[in-house]
Structure 1
Amino acid sequence: PAVVIGPTVAIIGLSLAGNAVGDLLKGDVTKQVTEYAVSTDSGTPEIIETVSNVPVGSSYVAFVCGLITLAVVMLCSTYGKKTLKLIPFIIGILAGYAAAAIFTVIGNICDIDALKIVDFSVFSSYMLTDGSVSLKTFVSLPDFAFVSGLKGLKEFDFSYFATIFVAYVPVALVVFAEHVADHKNLSSIIDHDLLEEPGLTRTLLGDGVGSIAGALFGGCPNTTYGESVACVAITGNASVVTIFAAAIGCMLFSFITPLVAFVDSIPACVMGGVCIALYGFIAVSGLKMIQDANLDDNRNLFVVSVILIAGIGGLTLTFGDITLTEVAAALILGILTNVMLSKKKGNADKK
């Protein structure tokens, strides 16, 4: 029901807010800093040396680059026409990247570490040691884990796979909730109920098949992303052909080293500016779903309250090597609350 899925989706967006704000204040250029500490664990004081990489760019400069990105995205999406309104995130990322690159170039010329935001060293991956460029360095095959992983199939460790299975079952519940919520959001955008046609059975099966394919090649499991739904809603482009072409394009681009290097060089502050809009949309879309529930009914009110407070409060549960994140813990607690109070069905709104 909406009283369970809505606040869970809102928690997903709100739980990512810290990541977006943290990235907004960071650049990618780092330097090694040596720290010394005195240890008395052995009874005798001794010097312990630790080396860590810390950003050298000023958080204020990174903040400016992130705000430029966010502002361009909002302006293109709100006032842009035709092409600009279809690709506001690309335009925003390019604008933020350009600003960060200008600051970095000035910082390199004037030797001002505070202005260094973009790490251009990643581009050296497609250049030869003498600085020249070769065709072979422009096209490369990503590292797949499928062939090398076959050796591990000969030795089956039941306890290892059992631990992984138990750890991922609670996560699957969160994925299911986000899956349903995202498809409901998409349904409202395109004015067509995707849970009825093509149907929840087919969409869930598609996620499962995608996860299997990704696992075979050493990639990430597949899931519906609120960020993608946000892109569809903000751009207004829900064309299946467009999304299919984008997916094929991403796979083809992964073989082109300079493009991969460019994506890798996008500083955290630029992506932080984009993610503020995307994560915010996820949170707001979840809150909009709660509008379908009757919050005058104490049953619904308690379910929403438990999920929001547990999720925002950061409730996590650890059982040995298994940890339930705040989203998983909040969802499970919300489901249990909903079941416990489900005896009062007369006034419950199950929309």
Structure 2
Amino acid sequence: MGERTKKQKLILGIQHTLAMFGATVLVPALTGLNTSITLFCAGLGTLLFHWVTKKKVPVFLGSSFAFMAGIMAIIGDSRMGDPDFMEKLASVKGALIIAGLVYVLFAGLIKIFGYEKVNKLLPPIVTGPIIIVIGLRLSGTAINSAFYYNGEFSLKSVLVTVVILTVVICVSIFAKGIFNLMPILFAIIAGYLVCLPLGFCDFTAVREAHFLSFMDKDIVAQLLCIPQFKLDAILAIAPIALVTMIEHVGDITTNGAVVGKNFMVDPGVHRTILGDGLATALAGLLGGPANTTYGENTGVLAVTKVYDPSVIRIAAVFAMILGIFGKFGGFITSIPSPVTGGISIVLYGMISAVGVRILINSRLNFGNSRNLLVAAIILVLGIGCDSIPVYGAVTISGLALAAVVGIILAFILPEGDDSVLN
């Protein structure tokens, strides 16, 4: 549709932030970290990522779920106001900074030894099923939010979900011009309006929020908390970076597949990993959770077909504004879970569909036993395993386990002459 106006980009950026919001604020809600700081770190980290990657990769960085177990192992049930919370927060800050530096180290190694080594380890028979797993692993969360309310099945939630899916489908297929690019925004608005008379909307967060979040003395105290580099916290949190880097490569591969560009080569996977690592270290310094590339981001790209990185940067600025202005953040927090769940059904499904597209475009022959076995094992391990304990509080996710096993199998098993259809 040609060059978009500033107003159009602003609307698209706001839409992108709304799609990222639910998952981004869930991590601090579960770990005891601050939501406003988290949103600010997500936006600032995304801008840092774009600067490192030459403003070429349309990626939004949000809170990483992979680090939750490690963070919660240190913080436990302690919350702001408890006598030991600030000391535990300082340990988490230090450990997240080290985790970010692990990313930086590996980015340097990839730069030295070359992208080809990474590419050889990630053929389509590995990346396709991994991307399918990324979407399907998230699907349970989407269904729970879309069909259940306060842990119980709710016909009202189902109604909201049906409205959202209907709006997304109708806008995506029948709308024209700029409106065709905003199915998620229209669906969120429609879902919110339906939720109002159904009693799903809670405005407590809006009433209690400070107009400026950083006027809150508790938030200022967390920002100014000096990181401490304690070995137990570092061992619980930093090694998780080795796992999330595999997920990062999968997300960047998926992102490139949607956009139609090879971001592993240009600007280079070493830059994307470096950007992710620096954003995580920055979040650790300020008191937010680790940042990571987001599957929701890829889902939005697939639905809207808006691949302009400047739109993502607008979304990042808007996330920072939400973090600074407490009333805005409180309003976004009031978006009911059936709304975010209904949107997530579309976004997560799109991710898995992209994985299927990679397999189809690669013309892989599944009559070949090697291809069939690699895909089968990745799918079962990735979907069936939640997490595997490694050391103490450190766990490896089913997705990372599937990726590691798939990479090894694809590397050691002979391809055969019929691995790719002619």
TM surpasses 0.5: yes
Query: Using a 3 Å threshold, how does the CA distance of structure 1 residues 23 and 179 change in structure 2: closer, same or farther?
Result: same
Query: Using a 3 Å threshold, how does the CA distance of structure 1 residues 251 and 203 change in structure 2: closer, same or farther?
Result: same
Q: Is the 8 A contact 2:128 2:355 kept in 1?
A: yes
The amino acid that maps onto 1:300 is N
Query: Using a 3 Å threshold, how does the CA distance of structure 1 residues 248 and 287 change in structure 2: closer, same or farther?
Result: same
Q: Residue deviations 1:99-127, cap 9 Å, x none?
A: 110222xxxxxxxxxxxx2223222214x
- 2:251 is aligned to 178
Query: Using a 3 Å threshold, how does the CA distance of structure 1 residues 303 and 272 change in structure 2: closer, same or farther?
Result: same
Q: Residue deviations 1:110-159, cap 9 Å, x none?
A: xxxxxxx2223222214xxxxxxxxxx423228364421x1x42xx4224
> Which aligned pairs between 1:204-243 and structure 2 lie closer than 5 A?
204-243=273-312
Q: Residue deviations 1:19-73, cap 9 Å, x none?
A: 111101234xxxxxxxxxxxxxxxxxxxxxxxxxx56x87001110122112112
- 2:157 is aligned to 62
- 1:328 is aligned to 400
Query: Using a 3 Å threshold, how does the CA distance of structure 1 residues 315 and 23 change in structure 2: closer, same or farther?
Result: closer
Query: Using a 3 Å threshold, how does the CA distance of structure 1 residues 77 and 193 change in structure 2: closer, same or farther?
Result: same
Which of residues 178, 183, 187 is equivalent to 1:88? 183
- 1:312 is aligned to 383
**More off after superposition, 261-270 vs 79-88:** 79-88
Question: Which has the larger Rg?
Answer: 1
Check if 1:123 corresponds to 2:206.
yes
Query: How many residues are matched?
Result: 292
Check if 1:17 corresponds to 2:133.
no
Query: Using a 3 Å threshold, how does the CA distance of structure 1 residues 284 and 212 change in structure 2: closer, same or farther?
Result: same
The amino acid that maps onto 1:261 is G
Q: Residue deviations 1:142-187, cap 9 Å, x none?
A: 8364421x1x42xx4224313323343223222222222322332x
The amino acid that maps onto 1:322 is V
Residue 324 of structure 1: SS of its match in structure 2?
strand
Separation in 2, partners of 1:103, 1:58: 15
The amino acid that maps onto 1:297 is N
Residue 138 of structure 1: SS of its match in structure 2?
coil
The amino acid that maps onto 2:195 is A
Query: Using a 3 Å threshold, how does the CA distance of structure 1 residues 333 and 195 change in structure 2: closer, same or farther?
Result: closer
The amino acid that maps onto 1:179 is I
Q: Tell me how far 1:228 sits from its aligned partner.
A: 1.3
Residue 213 of structure 2: SS of its match in structure 1?
coil
Separation in 1, partners of 2:310, 2:365: 38
- 2:48 is aligned to none
Q: Is the 8 A contact 1:2 1:290 kept in 2?
A: yes
Check if 1:79 corresponds to 2:162.
no
Q: Tell me how far 1:264 sits from its aligned partner.
A: 0.7
Q: Tell me how far 1:334 sits from its aligned partner.
A: 1.3
Q: How high is the TM-score relative to the length of structure 1?
A: 0.76
Q: Residue deviations 1:300-345, cap 9 Å, x none?
A: 221111101222323642234322222122112212222331x446
Q: Tell me how far 1:11 sits from its aligned partner.
A: 0.7
Q: Is the 8 A contact 1:66 1:271 kept in 2?
A: no
Residue 288 of structure 2: SS of its match in structure 1?
coil
- 2:340 is aligned to 271
Greater helix share, 1 or 2? Answer: 2
Residue 210 of structure 1: SS of its match in structure 2?
helix
Q: How high is the TM-score relative to the length of structure 2?
A: 0.64
Query: Using a 3 Å threshold, how does the CA distance of structure 1 residues 170 and 238 change in structure 2: closer, same or farther?
Result: closer
* Runs of 4+ with deviation above 6 angstroms: none
Unaligned runs of 5+ in 1: 28-53, 105-116, 127-136
Separation in 2, partners of 1:312, 1:79: 35
Residue 246 of structure 1: SS of its match in structure 2?
helix
Q: Residue deviations 1:248-279, cap 9 Å, x none?
A: 12212322222211111111111111000000
Check if 1:251 corresponds to 2:346.
no
Separation in 2, partners of 1:212, 1:316: 24
RMSD: 2.4
Separation in 2, partners of 1:94, 1:158: 47
Q: Is the 8 A contact 1:184 1:195 kept in 2?
A: no
Which of residues 270, 290, 293 is equivalent to 1:201? 270
Separation in 1, partners of 2:156, 2:310: 39
Residue 176 of structure 2: SS of its match in structure 1?
coil
